[in-house]
Amino acid sequence: MSFTKMHGLGNDFIVFDAPAGMDLPSADVFRRLADRRTGIGFDQALVLMPPQQGDFDVYYRIFNADGSEVEQCGNGARCIASLVARRIGKARVRMDSPGGKTIGVLRDDGLVSVDMGVPNFSPASLPFEASREAEVYPLRVGEKELQIGAVSMGNPHAVMQVPSVSDAPVDTLGPAVENHARFPKRTNVGFMEVVSPTHIKLRVFERGVGETQACGTGACAAVAIGRRWGLLQEEVQVDALGGRIIIRWPGPGQALWMTGPAVTVFEGTVEV
């Protein structure tokens, strides 16, 4: 199988075309390829497929390092937009995925902007078990009662505000919230430190992966929740462990745009 290794702020991927006339790799094969000692190593595998509708340039599917399939990946969407744009010779790429339709734009400064759609706060969209939609939900985890926001960016996110991301209990609360019974399909978990109305720091424990260097949809979710809580302005700098993403969201009913790098590391082939 031929593949391209890419990353967005250290959130790394293999990107490959779906093999013609063959099944996709099994979950076991994805887990083996994701191993950083004996495989290629990646957070997600991004599978490119022919568009299912005529006005799109590509359809893609996303598989986590644990072999599970997920709906959307923001850093991955930027990498796909960069790769496909270079293939087809266009700066604007229309993409489709299980998490929804997106548009990627290659900028003159080398960064990639992606229209991530309208944040969906309905509990059913994640899904999240709640009697009604709310800005803040109490979530019992062991002896602690957390206060979280919940939003779908095509995939599920729980976001909590913390005084300092450096001291946030990501390793313990991350998996506990990810696998909480109120999230039937599990969830990504964001730990957000608000530095100013235009600047946050963020760590994300990703569903099926663990903590990553950056999470594009996690950055989108954090800004959407922070805006809903009245803490953030329209354009926000999000500092992840791997670097910086810029999120712009005018507000309810409007599309949210994410801007950041998409880097090609190398190309190769692997036996599957």
Catalytic residue, chosen from 214, 215, 225, 238, is 215
CA distance 69 to 247: 25
Distances (CA, A) of 115 to 30, 38, 93, 112, 203: 28, 36, 11, 10, 22
Give me the helix-helix angle, 74-88 and 216-228, nearest 10°. Answer: 120
Radius of gyration over every alpha carbon of the chain, rounded to an integer in angstroms: 18
Number of helices (H) and strands (E) in the chain: give both, helices first: 4, 18
Catalytic residue, chosen from 33, 58, 70, 73, is 73
Contact 202, 222 (CB under 8 A): yes
* Number of neighbours of residue 35 by Cβ within 10 angstroms: 12
SS3 of residue 91 by DSSP: coil
Contact 139, 175 (CB under 8 A): no
CA distance 186 to 43: 17
Examine the residue annotation and report whether 73 is marked as an active-site residue of this protein.
Answer: yes
Peptide bond into 252 cis (omega under 30): no
Active site residues: 73, 215
